[in-house]
Amino acid sequence: MAKAKPRVKLPKKAAKGEIIEIKTLISHKMESGFRKDSKTGELVPRKIINKFVCSFNGEQVFASDWHPAVSANPYMSFTFRAEESGTFVFQWTDDDGSVYSIEKKLTVS
């Protein structure tokens, strides 16, 4: 499981004005930088996802800055008020610069 795998759960459809719950999870060790390698005695370098951003139709809805105190396989849930149909983009940024991304569509009636 070396590559970070993100997953997102949200309803496909919503009524206008309805508040929906969005849940996200990504597989990641979130190496804190505070652990020592048991063999070498050296500090294992920090490597975490430090930023999570959710945008809808190009505008940022919710974002979070993460520090090493966020658990491994980070879970993040929040809400969204559905006003119009469109596309969500969810992005997770790793300390090493990698960006993991998922898109989801929402139909609002």
Partner 1 sequence: MARKFWIIAAVTGLSLATAGTALTSEADWGAFQAGEKRSGYTYAKAETRNIQDDDFDNPGFLWVDTGAELWETVEGTAGKSCSSCHDDAADSMAKVGVSYPVFAKELGKPINVEQRINQCRTERMGAEVWKWESGELLAMTVYVKNQSQGAPVSVAVTDELMPFYEAGEQFYNQRRGQLDMACSTCHVDNAGGQLRANVLSQGQANGFPTYRLKWQKVGSLHRRFRGCNKQVRAQPYSYGADEYVNLELYLTHRSNGLPVETPAVRN
Partner 2 sequence: MIHNPLSRAISRRRLLISAGTGGAAMAAMTLVPGLVLADAASVSESMKALIGDALPSEGRIELDLPQIAENGNTVPISISIDSPMTADDYVKTVHVFAEGNPRPDVASFHFSPACGEATCSTRIRLAKTQNIVAVAEMSNGEVYMAKAEVKVTIGGCGG
87 in contact with partner 2 (CB under 8 A): no
32 in contact with partner 1 (CB under 8 A): no
Buried b (16+ CB within 10 A) or exposed e, 75-86: ebeeebebeeeb
Q: How many CA atoms lie within 13 A of 17 on its CB side?
A: 0
Out of 57, 60, 71, 107, name the contact with partner 1 by CB under 8 A: 71
1 in contact with partner 1 (CB under 8 A): yes
Structure tokens at 9: 């759960």
Nearest partner of 56 among 7, 4, 107, 6, judged by Cα: 107
Out of 13, 34, 75, 79, name the contact with partner 1 by CB under 8 A: 75
Q: Which residues bind partner 1 (CB under 8 A)?
A: 1-2, 5, 7, 9, 23, 25, 27, 29, 71-73, 75
